Chains A and B, each alone.
Chain A
């Protein structure tokens, strides 16, 4: 009996941590809840910077989560929800900023770095190929000299 009771208590206690979100915000189906989780994970808290609004406990994050939830209930699309928050708090609240003239370098830097690396690698390969193929081209005269030298060396060595 005691064992069963322990089991029940443990089960209930372990499910309590998961119940937190749905206790505050009820969703009709799993996919909606997943959508909500994705949205609040990619929105950034303006007050406690470098935290998303899912992680942050600040009052403004709470307001923003609430706004996201309300807009979802009203049937807004992800884009509309993000745009509405950007309209209030600025581009800052997006962890993935749009590509425009200000953020161009931000997006382009990885591509530039990869391109630069490729150029260096190609340069090294081409140069080593060039020196590699240059070595064995000998004129007939040089070849004759080498043959002679090798022949001499072999004779001396065996003697």
Chain B
């Protein structure tokens, strides 16, 4: 009994160590989306590029798409723009943009100058769809499957590494279990 007690501090240290070790490398600022496994919330917003057209959640039906939340006020969106261009051009990924809390003129100049990786851009100047999607900081990129269900949300910049390591596996999984 006495001897067993001697090992108690060691045991406690091991338990605390395991718990703390599990937390190493986790970025607490990146949260899982609450919408994973749920359909994209209903919305009715204008098309950025064609102001007369109204878009709704049906734009996500039919194929696996990335939904990229961006704005011209967002410096990291500028960082990832070339990578989005590369994804659209080289990888033939269908990307729908959500122009979040921005204004149309600035957004159109941006696409004109930097190129347009988006098949469609939803214009959300008040951030209503962004709010329903739980967007808390652009850029964010959602993987949406062919039936319009959210599969994954990536917070932060998309680049070649994120594509290979994070987004592609989710897309492949959505393709197989679609």
Q: Which residue of A has the minimal Cβ distance to B33?
A: A90
Nearest Cβ on chain A to B139's Cβ, whole angstroms: 13
Give the residues in chain B near A63, CB-CB below 8 Å: 127, 131
B101 contacts A by Cβ under 8 Å: yes
Are A87 and B131 neighbours in the complex by a CB distance under 8 Å? no
B106 contacts A by Cβ under 8 Å: no
CA of A47 to CA of B135, assembled, Å = 9
CA of A89 to CA of B35, assembled, Å = 8
Give the residues in chain A near B127, CB-CB below 8 Å: 63
Are B137 and A47 neighbours in the complex by a CB distance under 8 Å? yes
CA of A31 to CA of B148, assembled, Å = 42
Give the residues in chain A near B23, CB-CB below 8 Å: none
Are B137 and A60 neighbours in the complex by a CB distance under 8 Å? yes
With A47-B136, A59-B101, A67-B131 as contacts: A90 and B32 at CB distance below 8 Å: yes
Summarize A's interface: helix, strand, loop or mixed.
helix
Give the residues in chain B near A90, CB-CB below 8 Å: 31-34, 134
Are A89 and B34 neighbours in the complex by a CB distance under 8 Å? yes
A67-85 Cβ-contact flags toward B at 8 Å (1 or 0) = 1000000000000000000
Q: Which residues from 14 to 36 on chain B have a C-beta closer than 8 Å to any C-beta of chain A?
A: 28-29, 31-35
Give the residues in chain A near B134, CB-CB below 8 Å: 46, 88-90
With A49-B28, A63-B127, A67-B131 as contacts: A88 and B137 at CB distance below 8 Å: no
B125-157 Cβ-contact flags toward A at 8 Å (1 or 0) = 001000111111100000000000000000000
Nearest Cβ on chain A to B36's Cβ, whole angstroms: 9
Interface size on A, residues (CB 8 A): 14
Are A49 and B29 neighbours in the complex by a CB distance under 8 Å? yes
A53-71 Cβ-contact flags toward B at 8 Å (1 or 0) = 0000001100100010000
Nearest Cβ on chain A to B39's Cβ, whole angstroms: 13
Are B131 and A88 neighbours in the complex by a CB distance under 8 Å? yes
Nearest Cβ on chain B to A159's Cβ, whole angstroms: 48
Q: Which residue of B has the minimal Cβ distance to A84?
A: B132
A21 contacts B by Cβ under 8 Å: no
B114-134 Cβ-contact flags toward A at 8 Å (1 or 0) = 000000000000010001111
A124 contacts B by Cβ under 8 Å: no
Nearest Cβ on chain B to A30's Cβ, whole angstroms: 29
A92 contacts B by Cβ under 8 Å: yes
What are 28 A-B pairs with beta-carbon distances under 8 A? Answer: A46-B31, A46-B136, A47-B136, A47-B137, A49-B28, A49-B29, A59-B101, A60-B135, A60-B136, A60-B137, A63-B131, A67-B131, A86-B34, A87-B34, A88-B34, A88-B35, A88-B131, A88-B132, A88-B133, A88-B134, A89-B31, A89-B34, A89-B134, A90-B31, A90-B33, A90-B134, A91-B34, A92-B31
Other than A67-B131, A91-B34, give 8 A-B pairs with Cβ distance below 8 A: A46-B31, A49-B29, A59-B101, A60-B135, A87-B34, A89-B136, A90-B34, A92-B31
